[in-house]
A and B are shown apart, each in its own frame.
Chain A
């Protein structure tokens, strides 16, 4: 066909071609994100936390589960950077390993919840009618579960474990994403490019997942980011109550469990402080990054 170029068009539209020199969308998004100071701080903190959690076996100065009862509740020192707990374990090492567990739970539960929510929300919004009604009533039912009590009951019946924790988080919290994605699809499916895709013979599934979904990714990414923080918080809460991650495996939440006694509070401030601080910083960072992404991906928020 190359030889026929000149047959179809008498002269190429060279002058007009030069118009195409705007910046691509992702670059605009990146620039806007970069200008948001809190979001960048959040991203830097998160990167440090995630990388050190990943590298825990190599950077931890002590075995996180090694008990030394003679070294109980030692204050921070050159040997134990952040002190020791009531069993003489190094808090810094435990924090690193606990980070792996907490972040793993947060990310896995987020992936599960976002996948379920996105798929069901997309199908509900795209097809509408009875399919929509059925899925959205299911959402209503799931939302009306008192989730914290349900989690406690589930854990009471089955042995608490990390994978069950992730599964129950995912199964109970996909509803928000489903509503969000459904709403996006309700408007996006009216766009002319969807009709154009249909006239090209695309199937419903490829229209949903390859044409419309990429357009809905912005809000989904924001929701996903905020969800990780939420799941880490939920995991901490359950573990604190002894219903989540079980000792001796460390998680930021269950490290706090043993730090409750008055004795610890009065004499070993470092024991509750550092796990609490980790939860606080991590969740806050996820929220900063999420908000930053929301602003960056929203075309209505102009560049400054």
Chain B
């Protein structure tokens, strides 16, 4: 870490630990998570529901639901500042201006009683100090860049007048309005039709090129990962279980969980009677096993897995995996 003049990632999350408290008991929902993203790069965070993906991204934004949840440790270095230490007042400047977010359900993430223009202009007025008229003008321009031919009319319409894909483009327009350095997309295409999904992914890809933003893409859709991401981290029950470049991960998945995920994607070129699935569910934080968190569902589980927690081990170039199997293979 002391090497001089190294390239510095835009965001580097180190040993992040975020917990929720229920009746005074600490439930570590995100446990010892580290990753880095640089400008112009897309990092995908993959995992099932309950694996801590969304909480990780909300921790970066420092928007953990306040009574109940807390960042317990680690650091979130963004552009040289540790966001976990930043006073709340400064966070208001960071949110929306330097880090923006888009959500899964465009039906519910737009305010139903405000016009599209008002919603986009709000953030411009807040961060760029534009007047109402100028902000509205800018909102029209931004809507045009995300592909609305009727942008001048759309600004005066309400969310319920738009289709799901249009709303998600409005969300992207809102998020990109202040040219943030980092965009966090929490399952941006999950609620959309497949054809619209492709348009949205294209749009995000183009915006990334245009503004050289970094993107954190949270998804459980491996197809989207293959399409968009440069690097991937796979999360399971609050921990990173595998981390690699996209190509490496898809060609050479190491962790049994990652392999399971890949097998459970339906393939058109293979004739299968039954789709593979990983049995069971992600354990809830109050039921995490003592050893490896995946030991309850792992097809290759060993006695050791129930006793100890494995560490992230280097299994290739920029490829880490958290499994005892690799130790055994090395010896």
Contact = CB atoms under 8 A, between A and B. Distances in A.
B113 A25 contact: yes
B110 A201 contact: no
Contact of A192 (B109, B147, B149): B109
B163 interface: yes
A102 B101 CA distance: 52
Interface in A177-205: 191-193, 195-203
Contact of B105 (A13, A19, A24, A192): A192
Nearest to B115: A24
A200 B163 contact: no
Interface in B163-212: 163, 165-166, 169, 171, 174-175, 184, 199, 202-203, 206-207, 210
Contacts of A191: 108
Interface residues of B, number: 56
Given A16-B163, A214-B113, A202 B210 contact: no
B147 A13 contact: yes
Q: Is the interface of A mostly helix, strand, loop or mixed?
A: helix
B207 A8 contact: yes
B160 A25 contact: yes
B158 A24 contact: yes
B100 A199 contact: yes
A51 B158 CA distance: 34
A144 interface: no
Given A19-B163, A20-B154, A202-B122, A13 B149 contact: yes
Interface in A16-64: 16-17, 19-22, 24-25
Interface string B253-296: 00000000000000000000000000000000000000000000
B147 A199 contact: no
Nearest to B108: A192
A140 interface: no
B146 interface: yes
A193 B111 contact: yes
Given A2-B144, A9-B206, A20-B157, 7 more contacts: A13-B147, A17-B149, A19-B163, A196-B101, A199-B61, A201-B123, A203-B92
Interface of A: 1-2, 4-5, 7-14, 16-17, 19-22, 24-25, 128-129, 191-193, 195-203, 206, 210-211, 214-215, 217
